Structure 1
């Protein structure tokens, strides 16, 4: 009887963990997020143009569960981050998040039954890399690596490498060039124009 109770309790605990998406495995956590995104994209009730805003809102909520936008913003601003006040940092994170959402949600929305293969994960606490390949309808393979950082029980994405190009490094170079040739204010003004 005691063994049955322990087995039942263990199964219940595992079910609760799985149903909430809590896993110690970064690849599994990423897979849960990607599956949720694909589920939203496939929903027939979100296909019409008048549902576009709702679909983007739902996608944004799912993505924000897995992505650490503050860490991404900090890394993209690099050495210029230390010089910013708390208020400036909050504003920059907000603008950078909007920029990423606006740019990449459009690309995500173009999803049309591509296959995603989860190749491997490398864990070096508190960091991990999950290597994936997206296979398009034309059988073109696009390697996408996710760099993650452990935050309590969650693994949060802080960079995405698409075909060998780091998203964060790409923005870092652009932002640094603008700040050095003009000013931090100029960078913020440009971001505002793009996202607001």
Structure 2
């Protein structure tokens, strides 16, 4: 692991922009409305699908439309991304996209109780950077009754908003994957990373991930920069 704040730089920058920028109104659907639409459609799929596998497939397709998968693939692989051919980039986007969406949905599914309808509350929205970046705060009522914070960093893409990152109780999903990809590349190679993605064993999802740890100059662990000044936590196992 690198001993600086590089693992969390992108999230820190975006959150900083959001906190300093003045709110702006969007003419199209707001980030909150777009995220709410995804949750409503996913809930409908869960209630109407005849098989669990069918529901999982349909919800993953909905998530693929919501997430900026190409952008996430590029960020987790930088700086190696620039050396890839067009064909290699397309393959990595496809393989990593499956890993990203599967990991996110497994994380959400692991929090939700199975004996009652999902309780996901949208509790806030901030739009800044000239209306190009947004932070949508949500809460999930977990199995044990506790509220788990899911914050969605979203960026404007034409008339739509795409999920740039998901921060779960202060832990960035994208930065976790970036740390894991970097570790695989240090110990193996890009070909080895792709082979692991193909086999389904690549750099795990949130279920096998610890929070990336940055350190101060003195060598002590530095806190992960949270969205709501909450103490950092590890991503729990679904």
What TM-score do you get using the length of structure 1 for normalisation?
A: 0.78
Partner of 1:133: 139
Query: Larger Rg: 1 or 2?
Result: 1
Partner of 2:73: 73
- Residues 1:195 and 1:105: Cα distance change in structure 2 (over 3 Å): farther
Contact between 1:66 and 1:156, CA under 8 Å: does it hold in 2? yes
Quote the offset at 1:195 in angstroms: 6.9
Contact between 2:64 and 2:101, CA under 8 Å: does it hold in 1? no
Quote the offset at 1:107 in angstroms: 4.4
Per-residue deviation, residues 139-187 of structure 1 (Å, max 9, x unmatched): 2010000011111110001211111110110000110111122211111
Higher helix share: 1
Partner of 1:62: 62
- Residues 1:121 and 1:138: Cα distance change in structure 2 (over 3 Å): same
SS at match of 1:139: coil
Quote the offset at 1:60 in angstroms: 1.8
What TM-score do you get using the length of structure 2 for normalisation?
A: 0.65
Distance, in Å, in 1 between the alignment partners of 2:193 and 2:45 is 34
Distance, in Å, in 2 between the alignment partners of 1:37 and 1:70 is 22
Aligned length in residues? 170
- Residues 1:135 and 1:108: Cα distance change in structure 2 (over 3 Å): closer
Structure 2 segments unaligned to the other structure (5+ residues): 1-26, 203-238
SS at match of 2:53: helix
What's the Cα RMSD here?
2.1
Greater shift, 75-84 or 27-36, is seen at 75-84
Partner of 1:15: none
Partner of 2:177: 171
1:26 paired residue among 25, 31, 46: 31
1:145 paired residue among 151, 173, 177: 151
Higher relative contact order (CA 8 A, sep 6+): 2
Partner of 1:160: 166
Distance, in Å, in 2 between the alignment partners of 1:76 and 1:67 is 14
